[in-house]
């Protein structure tokens, strides 16, 4: 049983910390939002007073935060994780951030004898709750092997993809595929609805064929039922695509489809939809077409 620190108790972090407790570990946690920390304490975590306090009481510290600036501040800033960590501590950043930020933090950690992995996840809130996340890890093999038993309490697949930063490059690739898949699904369902078809019938007809996917199975029912409660928010997916485009620019890689969908996400955020589930990408296409995905009136 390890003493694990956890920083960031939002939609993903709260159930992840709960699964570590279910796995038999002690968890001490901190979040800058008091209500989120109170909720986690009610679920069995110990209360930390700061990121540094959490690190000083832990062998492993997991961070799960919105973006690179928040991770940078939580780890390297005043009263940050590195301030409380000692040589031999391990930091596992499970946030989805720029690989360049991961490498910066890893270098600072190494200077203090602290091990570091970047280990972003895919699966959203449902898979965080049932501990079936896909976890993409960057770092040294020996550090990965040490962290693996803990990560297996959070995900059904845990893959070492390369050196530090590789986890986040893999996650960016994942987010490109998910975003473009949702946008294509939206276009298809809008077309079917405009033609007078029942979108649920169309979904059931195609899901067993080549167009079938985990994204389709998870997001089409949400669109058809008009349920845009966030499992993964539009504003966070926009952030991921922005990071992907920045990384691509640094490597002179063209991502035309990613760029288009990222602009759709920006437009949705400007329309006040940034906190909706990313399945709401379909509403951008609906507004262009004057058609809402729903069962026909005669159905």
**Catalytic residue list contains 252:** no
DSSP states along 193-228: HHTT--HHHHHHHHTTSTT--HHHHHHHHHHHTT--
Using DSSP's 3-state secondary structure scheme, residue 259 falls into: helix
Query: Distance from first CA to last CA of the chain, Å, rounded?
Result: 56
Of the candidates 39, 112, 142, 171, the residue annotated as catalytic is 171
Closest CA to 126 of 279, 252, 260, 268: 279
**Distance (Å, whole) CA 251 – CA 254:** 9
**Distance (Å, whole) CA 176 – CA 122:** 12
**Cα torsion through 37, 41, 44, 45, rounded to 10:** 50
Residue pair 186/282 in contact by the 8 Å Cβ criterion: yes
Known catalytic residues are 171
């Amino acid at each position: 049983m390890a003493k694990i620190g956890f920083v960031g108790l939002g939609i993903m972090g709260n159930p992840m910390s709960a699964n570590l407790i279910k796995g038999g570990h002690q968890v001490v946690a901190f979040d800058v939002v008091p209500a989120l920390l109170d909720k986690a304490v009610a679920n069995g975590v110990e209360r930390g007073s700061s990121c540094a306090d959490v690190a000083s009481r832990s062998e492993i510290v997991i961070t799960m935060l919105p973006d690179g600036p928040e991770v940078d501040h939580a780890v390297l800033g005043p009263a940050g994780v590195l301030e409380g960590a000692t040589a031999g501590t391990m930091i596992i950043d499970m946030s989805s951030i720029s690989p360049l930020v991961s490498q910066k933090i890893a270098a600072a950690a190494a200077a203090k004898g602290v091990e570091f992995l970047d280990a972003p996840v895919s699966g959203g809130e449902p898979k965080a709750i049932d501990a079936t996340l896909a976890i993409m890890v960057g770092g040294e093999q020996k550090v990965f092997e040490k962290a693996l038993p803990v990560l297996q309490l959070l995900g059904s697949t845990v893959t070492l993809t390369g050196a530090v930063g590789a986890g986040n490059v893999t996650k960016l690739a994942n987010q490109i595929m998910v975003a473009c898949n949702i946008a294509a699904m939206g276009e298809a369902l809008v077309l079917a609805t405009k033609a007078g078809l029942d979108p649920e019938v169309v979904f059931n007809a195609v899901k067993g064929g080549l167009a079938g996917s985990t994204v389709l199975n998870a997001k089409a029912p949400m669109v058809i039922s008009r349920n845009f409660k966030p499992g993964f928010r539009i504003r966070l997916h926009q952030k991921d695509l922005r990071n992907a485009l920045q990384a691509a620019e640094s490597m002179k890689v063209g991502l035309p489809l990613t760029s288009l969908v990222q602009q759709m996400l920006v437009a949705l955020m400007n329309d006040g939809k940034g906190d909706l589930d990313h399945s709401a990408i379909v509403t951008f296409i609906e507004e262009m077409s004057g058609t809402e995905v729903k069962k026909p009136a005669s159905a």
